[in-house]
Amino acid sequence: MGTVVQYVGYLAILVLLGIPLGAYIKKVMDGEKTFLSRILTPCENLVYKAMHVKKDEQMNWKKYLLSVLLFNGIGLVFLFLLQLLQGVLPGNPQGLPGIKWDLSFNTAVSFVTNTNWQAYSGESTLSYLSQALGLTVQNFVSAATGIAVLFALIRGFIRVNERFETSLPGVYAIGDAIGGMMLAHAASAQGLSVVHALAGEEAPLCLDAIPACVYVSPEIACVGLTQADCQQRGIEAKVGKALMGANGRTLIAGGQRGFIKVVADAQDGRVLGAQLMCERATDMIDSFTVAIANGLTAAQLMRAVRPHPTFLEAVGEALDALEGRAIHS
């Protein structure tokens, strides 16, 4: 029982620390001042000066890649030689001999790549110097390298405002270059919004309702918020779900099992999102996209009479399920 409490307590501490740590890392990535700036900034400036690095100099991907490989390469060689020669180095009161070259190389690669795989007992094989200056240092340095690469990847996305304008006035960016939903129709909609903005017109498209489709069998499509999203945002939502096994058109087509799930605001009935996994899901998602883009309620969508037998009948079934009125579930 004590062990369980210890694990739960440890997990709780990690989760609680993740919140302020995440906020701190975000500020660092954005170049904002933090409570450690007064202490760390002078140290960073000294390192920049010693390494002849210009603080504000931009690096292209080739230079960045070379720097990462060079940094890790130096660490790899250092750790390899440290183990190989530990028998003649200080910090070895036990008089442990040097490690064989193959095991030294394997351990060096393992710790530089942060996998930390060990094929030996560290206390009886490695000297104090090898453990402290070698493995312990790489435990931190290799993880820091990974974070640096992540920073570079995230910063590779161009930052834009709500009008898709970059930090350079008059220069705009859309699509994969700015991250987010990397979909062709999303980029196209963003491009149209930019053109209308440049013409002084209001954008005709709703960019808050971008459907995503996966063309497998059965097809998968989604748009808007999920039930979990609503819970995280504190939105009281209700969910309706229709199983495609009760849909006549699905049975005629020999379709596989699937479902249509719709999420609506519990207060005013507005459709907030939908998730589909069924035949023609990538076509039917449009009904929910139109509803979200226009702020339609589930009741408004339920007024339509859908033909039989069609896949779309299941849309009506899912909407009916929101109010507990489904008759084919």
Phi, psi angle pair for 122, to nearest 5°? -55, -40
Q: Helices 61-84 & 137-155, crossing angle to 10 degrees?
A: 170
Distances (CA, A) of 158 to 179, 198, 205, 252: 8, 19, 22, 48
Cβ(81)–Cβ(134) under 8 Å? Answer: no
Nearest to 113 by CA among 79, 89, 86: 79
Please tell me which residue in 52, 196, 308, 328 is annotated as part of the active site: 308
> Please, which residues have CB within 8 angstroms of residue 314's CB and are 6 or more apart in sequence?
242, 244, 246, 247, 250, 260, 278, 284
Instruction: Provide the sign of the torsion angle of the four alpha carbons 32, 33, 37, 41, taken in this order.
Output: positive
308 a catalytic residue: yes
Q: Which of 185, 194, 188 is nearest to 161 (CA)?
A: 194
- Taking Cα atoms as reference points, which of 191, 159, 163 lies closest to residue 175? 191
> For tokens 């028998």, what's the residue?
87
The residues assigned a catalytic role are 308
